[in-house]
Amino acid sequence: MPQHPHTSLHSKKKQTYVMVQYSPLTGGSGTQYDTYRGVHQFAPPPPTIVARCPKLSRYKMAGFLSIALLSLILFTFMAARTSSMGVPFFSGDESSLAGQEGLVAAPMCNLRLPEDAASPLGEGMEQTGDFGLDGVSGQSPDSVDSTELESFNPGQNEVHVYPSDRYEADPTQERIKRFPTAIVIGARKGGTRAVLRFVDLHPDVVTSKREPHFFDREYEQGLEWYRHQMPPSLPSQITLEKTPNYLVDWDVPKRVYTFNSSIKLILIVREPISRAVSDYVQLREAFYKQMEYDEERALKNGRLERLPDFEDLAIDPSTGEVDKSYAPVKRSLYSRHLERWLAFFNMSQILILDGDNIRYRPWEEMAKVEKFLGLSHQVKQNCFVFNETKGFFCVKVVDHKKGNGATVQKCLSESKGRVHPHIDPEVRSKLRDFYRPFNKRFFYKVGRTFDWD
């Protein structure tokens, strides 16, 4: 008996299959959460063939019904998920809003203030400033033991920005302080604060306001102390901290490994010479701040201290060669520092970010951070606006008080984006030659190159 020409074909094609992709989100406690993402493919039977076979119309009906049911479930799920995150389900053209002032925030950028921004002023309000304490203000120019107040300014006008009401939506969720699941280990002046601020826009992330310096300076305080330095978070959120000095401190890699051998590490590197100069500029500022304090005494003694120029410190006068013991020079030897970390951690645990690109295309680096941390992609180009006066990208934050989705720009403090002095081209050239072999080694280790020559 001749075989029906369509039988085998039907039995294959009549199937309606659905592929569902899961994306793991690492919870604050290290638990894995699965997040339903979406239906990717439907393959209904070809209508012409089905129409000629009455028996198959039942399958067709069943197929259509399952598709309709699955679509309904998917729609309900997505709507519930996005509304709980404060993100509208449908997005508009994201790129068209970038850099344009006064526009309503683009729909898929889930803008909110960092959790620790709520001020004691009451009513959940936050005014300018005090968005983080960074790095350095030291006793001596070479010291990294200093504190510089960094504020995350909304600009000239005093604007009250209310944190997202996302948390009020579910009061049953317990917000407690948790250990970080990822640490930004440096490099100092690499753009670490920018990265932390930007990733903090993500609804599933909380970040520490201050650099805790646990693994380098406060280790004796114990782990509970460390945990208490972290902001409270929901079980679904991950905690991040940054302490750029971790990169260069000899004891830190081993201590971090002992704390959590599977922790994720983020290293932000920047063109080594500009990083070193930036480091010098910061130390110089700290030095003069201190001098101002001591000015009276200095004047009485008939002298006002002056910090030597970068060139005088970076070049050893006795040899005329680069002085690699000078801290700002030394801290740009990324390969050296990374190697100490690689004695304990696998390269797959370390995300390398391009600090120069953070300045010019921050959303690209943010996408890498989100992927590395297993987060959904939220901090997109439409979250940023270029501030001409500052010369840097700032973020757009919803101003709930103004309503109508009005946004306000929030930029990093004045201490980020300082003017660099002119560097003698001869010294620059010496530094370039000096760094070249270290850079090459670094590129080899991380499996990519940077445009640093």
Ligand X SMILES: Nc1ncnc2c1ncn2[C@@H]1O[C@H](COP(=O)(O)OS(=O)(=O)O)[C@@H](OP(=O)(O)O)[C@H]1O
Binding region for ligand X (CB under 6 A): 134-135, 188-194, 244, 278, 358-359, 392-393, 412, 416-418
Shortest Å, Cβ 399 to ligand X: 20
Is position 390 annotated as part of the catalytic site?
no
Q: Determine whether the annotation assigns residue 430 to a binding site.
A: no
Between residues 13 and 359, which has the closer beta carbon with respect to ligand X? 359
Shortest Å, Cβ 252 to ligand X: 15
Catalytic residue among 14, 189, 242, 380: 189
Between residues 334 and 392, which has the closer beta carbon with respect to ligand X? 392
Q: Determine whether the annotation assigns residue 330 to a binding site.
A: no
Q: Determine whether the annotation assigns residue 4 to a binding site.
A: no
| Pair of tokens at residue 419 | 């003017």
| Beta carbons within 10 angstroms of residue 403's beta carbon | 8
Q: Determine whether the annotation assigns residue 337 to a binding site.
A: no
Q: Determine whether the annotation assigns residue 227 to a binding site.
A: no
Shortest Å, Cβ 450 to ligand X: 15
Shortest Å, Cβ 337 to ligand X: 14
Q: Determine whether the annotation assigns residue 13 to a binding site.
A: no
Shortest Å, Cβ 9 to ligand X: 58
Pairwise CA distance, residues 49 & 36, whole Å = 34
Shortest Å, Cβ 278 to ligand X: 3
Shortest Å, Cβ 82 to ligand X: 28
Smallest CA-to-CA distance from 215 within 242, 189, 197, 178 is with 242
Q: Let me know if 48 is exposed, middle or buried by CB neighbors in 10 A (0-12, 13-18, 19+).
A: exposed
Between residues 193 and 202, which has the closer beta carbon with respect to ligand X? 193
Q: Determine whether the annotation assigns residue 417 to a binding site.
A: yes
Q: Determine whether the annotation assigns residue 192 to a binding site.
A: yes
Known binding site for 3'-phosphoadenylyl sulfate: residues?
Answer: 189-193, 270, 278, 416-420
Residues forming the active site? 189
User: Which residues does the annotation place in the binding site?
Assistant: 189-193, 270, 278, 416-420
